[in-house]
Amino acid sequence: MITRPHLLDALREQVLLCDGGMGSRVQLLDLEVERDYWGQENCTEILNLSRPELVREIHRGYFEAGADMVETNSFGGTPITLGEFGLADRAREINRTAAHLAREAAESFSDGRHRYVVGSIGPGTKLPSLGNIDYDTLEAG
């Protein structure tokens, strides 16, 4: 395994290019709700479990295109957002898998270039400012 500088140190030295959007990239694919999303339409995070090879290859594609870092496929990975799909109890598994897939993609290259993985955390679908959820529940989730 290549020892790479800490991300913040690398950013002090140069501009690092990050990947494009996972969700928009997934939307370009011909996926089936039952087979690929396990019946959870629009839950891109479930692809970490149902189609790990697809998620890994999306990351690889961004690295091949020149990205220095990719974001994990975990934008909607909070227990609150995943709860809308009945997956709140699998949030940790889904997010850990997302990180492992991105790291596997980064380490699949042997050209000596430093590649980074950063966690993606979206705002979720419930916002206190809109009255969807209170702050304490959001923080606890």
Find the CATH number of the domain harbouring 53. 3.20.20.330
Contact 112, 66 (CB under 8 A): no
Question: 2 pLDDT exceeds 60?
Answer: no
Q: Does residue 1 fall inside a structural domain?
A: no
Q: Band the pLDDT of 139: cuts 50, 70, 90.
A: confident
Contact 91, 77 (CB under 8 A): yes
Contact 99, 52 (CB under 8 A): no
- Report how many domains make up the chain: 1
> What amino acid is encoded at 94 in this protein?
I
Q: Does residue 2 fall inside a structural domain?
A: no
Q: Does residue 94 fall inside a structural domain?
A: yes
Q: Band the pLDDT of 1: cuts 50, 70, 90.
A: low
Q: Does residue 45 fall inside a structural domain?
A: yes
pLDDT digits (tens, 9 = 90+) for 65-110: 999 999 999 999 999 999 999 999 999 999 999 999 999 999 999 9
Higher pLDDT, 101 or 4: 101
Question: 120 pLDDT exceeds 90?
Answer: yes
Domain that holds residue 48: 7-140
